[in-house]
Amino acid sequence: MIGWNIRSIRYGIVPVVIMMLTIVLVACGGGAADDAASFVQVREAPADYTIEDLKAIGFKASKDYDVEGLPDGLDAWKGFWGLDPYDRHDYEIRFYASHALAVSSGQQLAIDATGAEFEAKRDEQVWTEGVKDRWQARGVTDVSSGGSRQAPGPTYQDWAIVGNMVILCDGLDSEQAILRCASLIDNFLPDDAG
């Protein structure tokens, strides 16, 4: 009889604990998915920026692109950044004279240079400088052969505009790229900006 009581208590508690954990998880929100969904992709900023402003927060510029052919573009860079020096990510940053020009001249080019749009329009880019950097071969584990194979695709899955900057962000998908854009922007802009 005692064994039956302990077992019934144990099996009665497990569903209650599972239900409580479910409530806590739902109450805490969806985490990264919610962060990506609430991300403001186009926002003004308190100033116009240059690559030097990004370098001041640890952005490592690796290529200075020729902006000939980039409508209204002043400067463009490929580089990497991350709070953790062992976990940095690729970005392409394009600078314009103003926020208005970044939006009017840069937004559609950013859309065309990221994700599925880039995959579909790779050979039809308005600005061809750096196109090869926007396409990469990623290693994908092939469980059937015990090795890996290359899965080419867009380097940058999504973008953001902050002030006079158009930022292309890497990631395996749009959500991850948006989170990486958000991380860079949050560490770049003052707390009261944007």
What is d(CA 80, CA 39) in angstroms, rounded to the nearest whole number? Answer: 21
Q: What sign has the CA pseudo-torsion 134, 62, 48, 162?
A: positive
Residue 5: what pLDDT?
53
- pLDDT tens column, 148-160: 555 789 999 999 9
- What percent of the chain shows pLDDT beyond 90? 66
Rounded to two decimals, the pTM is 0.77
Q: Quick check: 147 pLDDT over 80?
A: no
Residue 152: what pLDDT?
85
Write down the mean pLDDT value for the chain: 83
Q: Quick check: 24 pLDDT over 90?
A: no
C-alpha pair distances (Å), 24 with each of 16, 36, 52, 91, 124: 12, 21, 44, 36, 48
143 CB-contact burial (10 Å; exposed 0-12 / middle 13-18 / buried 19+): exposed
The structure tokens 């580089």 sit at 79
Residue 33: what pLDDT?
59
Would you place residue 25 in the very low, low, confident or very high pLDDT band (cuts 50, 70, 90)? very low
Tell me, what DSSP letter sits at residue 155? S
Q: Quick check: 27 pLDDT over 80?
A: no
Please tell me which residue, 36 or 56, carries the higher pLDDT value: 56
- pLDDT tens column, 59-69: 999 999 999 99
Looking at beta carbons, which pairs linking 21-27 to residues 24 or more positions away fall under 8 Å?
Answer: none
Looking at beta carbons, which pairs linking 96-99 to residues 24 or more positions away fall under 8 Å?
Answer: 96/72, 96/164, 96/165, 96/166, 97/48, 97/72, 97/164, 98/48, 98/164, 99/44, 99/45, 99/48, 99/161, 99/163, 99/164
Please tell me which residue, 32 or 110, carries the higher pLDDT value: 110
Which of 41, 97, 111, 91 lies closest to 67 in space, CA to CA? 97
Residue 38: what pLDDT?
85
Q: Quick check: 16 pLDDT over 50?
A: no
Would you place residue 2 in the very low, low, confident or very high pLDDT band (cuts 50, 70, 90)? low
Would you place residue 187 in the very low, low, confident or very high pLDDT band (cuts 50, 70, 90)? very high
81 CB-contact burial (10 Å; exposed 0-12 / middle 13-18 / buried 19+): buried
36-49: b or e for each residue (b if 16 or more CB lie within 10 Å)? beebeeeeebeebb
